[in-house]
Amino acid sequence: MIKITNLEKYYRTEEVETVALNKLSFEVKEGEFVAVMGPSGCGKSTLLNIVGLLDDPDGGSFLFNGIEVAGFNERKRADLRKHNIGFVFQSFNLIDELTVFENVELPLIYTGVKAADRKVRVEEVLDKMQIMHRRNHYPQQLSGGQQQRVAVARAVVNNPKLILADEPTGNLDSSNGNEVMQLLTDLNEQGTTIIMVTHSEHDAKYSHRIIRMLDGQTVTENILV
């Protein structure tokens, strides 16, 4: 599903050039659950942003479902993203002014789904995430675990092929964290590919494979399953 070859990314300020990704190569197959680990500043998040089509690389090749997307402009990336990729963040990133229902509905609005269909699909996914009873609440009225469930609901409502999770349990206590990890595992079992950046060895154990990074390169790969 994802094939990355010699991917490069630099960050430049006036005086310093930092290498975030240094000729990085790896591959993720459809249906896989991959965890990416490494110390702070090793390039994990940069990698996730590029894979998520939020950022573009400075060099190398990135095939998404066999299509070269490294040179895509913002509009093309946005289009590809909204149909194929769901995101889960450490800090949830829900919109405070929208209710639970409206937050989850958002991706469907941008993909042009009709209102009646949206209602069915949002309710279905809220039900699945066991957050239906909170549908009219605002994010600040929910606990962290509940917020992350809403975020997961929003990530999956469009039935994306790929979910990118950036330290999804980083802001949660262990029991809420476990719940979220279980949700992701369930989604993976239903066929969704998952790439997760994490610092937690515990969370990484839910994945099939762990990629460890250092200084913008992969150093080892542990296959767990």
Partner 1 sequence: MLRNYFKIAFRNLWRNKLYSFINIAGLAMGIAAFILILQYVSFEKSVNGFHRNIATTYRLLNENPKGETWPQVEPGWAQKAKERFPEIKAYCRFEEGVGQGIVRRTTENAEPFRETNVGYAEGNFFEFFSFNLLEGNAAAFKKPNVVFLSKAAVKKYFGKDEPIGQSLILYNQFGKATYTVNGVYEIPVNSDIRYDMVFSLETLSNPANLNDNDWAQLDNLSSQYINTYFQINETADYKKLEQKLNTLRNELKKDKDGLVFRLQPFANVHLPASFSDNYQTTGNLKYVYILSIIAILILVIAWFNYINLSTANALKRANEVGVRKVVGASRGSLVLQFLGESVLVNMISFGLALLIVQLLQPLFNTIIEKELAFTSLLSTPAWVAGLGLLIVGSLLSGAYTAYSLSGFNPVETLKGKLVKTNKAVVLRKSLVVFQFSISIGLLLVTAFIYRQLNYMQHKSLGVNTDQLLVIRGPQVDKDSTYKQRRTAFINALAQQSFVKDYSLSGSVPGNGYNFATSGFSQPGSRKGDELKSFSFALIDDRYLNTYEIGLKAGRTFTQPETMVEWNDNDKVLMNEKAIEELGFKSAEEALNTKVQWDERKLQVIGVVKNYHHVGLQKAIDPIIFYPQSNSAYFTVRLQTDRIKDNVAQMETLFKSYFRNNPFEYFFADENFNKQYISEQQYSKLFTTASVWAIVIACLGLFALATYTVEARTKEIGVRKVLGANVFTIARLLSKDFLQLVFIAFVIAVPVVWYTMYRWLENFAYKVQLSWWVFAAAGIVAIGIALLTISFQAMKAAFANPVKSLRTE
Instruction: State which of residues 33, 64, 87, 101 lies at the interface with partner 1 (CB under 8 A).
Output: 87
Distance of CA 172 to the CA centre of its chain: 17
Cβ-based burial of 39 (10 A; exposed 0-12, middle 13-18, buried ≥19): exposed
Instruction: State which of residues 70, 98, 132, 214 lies at the interface with partner 1 (CB under 8 A).
Output: 98
- Residue whose pair of structure tokens reads 């296959």 in the numeric block: 223
d(CA 171, CA 160): 24
Binding marks (x or -) toward partner 1, 43..72, rule CB under 8 A?
A: ------x--x-xx-----------------
Element (H, E) at 96: none
Any contact of residue 10 with partner 1 (CB under 8 A)?
Answer: no
- Among the listed ranges 92-100, 123-131, 204-212, 217-225, the one in contact with partner 1 (CB under 8 A) is 92-100
Binding marks (x or -) toward partner 1, 126..165, rule CB under 8 A?
A: ----------------------------x---x-------
Instruction: Give 40 or 175: the residue with its C-beta nearer to partner 1.
Output: 40
Measure the CA angle with vertex 35, ends 192 and 43; round to 5°.
120
Assigned token pair, 139: 């994010």
Any contact of residue 75 with partner 1 (CB under 8 A)?
Answer: yes
- Residue whose pair of structure tokens reads 């690389």 in the numeric block: 57
Any contact of residue 171 with partner 1 (CB under 8 A)?
Answer: no
